[in-house]
């Protein structure tokens, strides 16, 4: 398919991009891996594309307090190559390794993935599990939105049309936490049919805290409340009971890859495996 005609401009700065957004009927393009397919299918028909892919200001990963700041224009490859991310947030590495193929990881950006908010994408669940904050900018100001309020429904976020995702800030992970990402993915693309991210702390062999998030299941990635996991030893039987309702808050997707019933089953299995793997890694 061929997209409808559009104007194209390369932003020279973030300010330049924000000015263009303020005029309306304009889309940012970073790596183009989600936007260009949407345009080719004519699901998106912006009059103007403003290319932010070359803006160094939007790239990079650095320590911020005891956490980390990630520029929205950082590619998945940038995440995988970062010693800071490897050391503090191995969950990001585990999930990113499963995203698409080498080309997608080399060109696709974390900001583009989060802004696109595909219900089957991996990074929203990871950001929810790590308690990320999204820092947004527009011509008229700046504001921050927590990940739990950012992803609203399929392809819809809390961002306004005139806003740009500037960076993502992650707090320090809980001390000695174990983290894991388990995805039942579509073999062709890597997108999640159902996937779970878990961050777990323990005392001796007992789970003392858990954050569990899921993606691919419903219309958006979400935090699953699983209070009965705390106090268990993460044994199969204990978790089967504690995770039985993990997809119940969602209208579970049904498509050519999985019926709703099967997808809900995969969600429970992914959640159990992620918690058990995270428990095994907790210090």
Angle at 150 between CA 145 and CA 153, to 5 degrees: 160
Q: Is 121 in the site for ligand FAD (CB under 6 A)?
A: yes
Judged by beta carbon, residue 85 or residue 165, the one nearer ligand FAD is 165
> Residue 221 CB, nearest distance to ligand FAD (Å)?
10
What is the distance, to the nearest Å, from the Cα of residue 142 to the centroid of all Cα atoms in its chain? 21
Give the span between the Cα atoms of 33 and 43, in whole angstroms: 14
Name the closest residue to ligand FAD (Cβ).
112
Note whether 234 binds ligand FAD by CB under 6 A: no
137 touching ligand FAD, by CB under 6 A: no
Sole binder of ligand FAD in the list 189, 203, 206, 254 (CB under 6 A): 189
d(CA 137, CA 3): 28
Tell me the pairing of strands 164-170 and 178-185. unpaired
Burial label, 57 (beta-carbon count in 10 A; 0-12, 13-18, 19+): middle
Q: Do 201 and 208 contact (CB within 8 A), yes or no?
A: yes
In the structure encoding, which two tokens stand for residue 70, read together? 């990630």
Q: Does 72 bind ligand FAD (CB under 6 A)?
A: yes
115 lines the binding site for ligand FAD (CB under 6 A): yes
Binding string to ligand FAD for residues 84 to 103, with x set by CB under 6 A, is what?
---------------xx---
- Residue numbers of the site for ligand FAD (CB under 6 A)? 27-35, 72, 99-100, 104, 108-109, 111-113, 115-116, 121-123, 164-165, 189-191
């Amino acid at each position: 398919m061929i997209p409808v005609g559009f104007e194209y401009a390369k932003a020279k700065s973030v300010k330049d991009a924000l000015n263009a957004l303020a005029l309306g009927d304009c889309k940012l393009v970073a790596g183009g891996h989600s936007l260009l397919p949407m345009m080719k299918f004519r699901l998106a028909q912006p009059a103007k594309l403003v290319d932010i892919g070359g803006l160094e200001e939007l790239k990079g990963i650095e320590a911020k307090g005891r956490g980390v700041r990630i520029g929205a224009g950082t590619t998945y490859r940038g995440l995988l190559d970062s010693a800071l991310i490897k050391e503090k947030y191995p969950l990001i590495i585990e999930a990113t390794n499963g995203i698409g193929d080498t080309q997608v990881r080399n060109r696709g950006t974390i900001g583009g993935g989060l802004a696109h908010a595909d219900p089957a994408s991996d990074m929203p669940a990871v950001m929810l599990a790590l308690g990320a904050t999204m820092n947004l900018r527009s011509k008229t100001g700046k504001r921050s939105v927590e990940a739990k309020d950012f992803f609203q429904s399929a392809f819809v976020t809390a961002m306004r049309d005139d806003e740009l995702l500037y960076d993502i800030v992650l707090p320090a992970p809980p001390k000695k936490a174990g983290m894991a990402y388990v995805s039942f993915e579509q073999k062709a693309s890597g997108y999640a049919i159902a996937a779970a991210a878990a961050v777990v702390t323990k005392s001796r062999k007992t789970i003392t805290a858990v954050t569990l998030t899921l993606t691919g299941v419903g219309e958006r990635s979400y935090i699953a409340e699983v209070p009965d996991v705390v106090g268990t030893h993460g044994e199969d039987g204990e978790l089967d009971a504690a995770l039985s309702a993990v997809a119940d808050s969602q209208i579970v997707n049904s498509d050519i890859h999985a019926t709703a019933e099967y997808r809900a089953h995969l969600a429970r299995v992914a959640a159990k495996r992620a918690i058990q793997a995270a428990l095994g890694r907790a210090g």
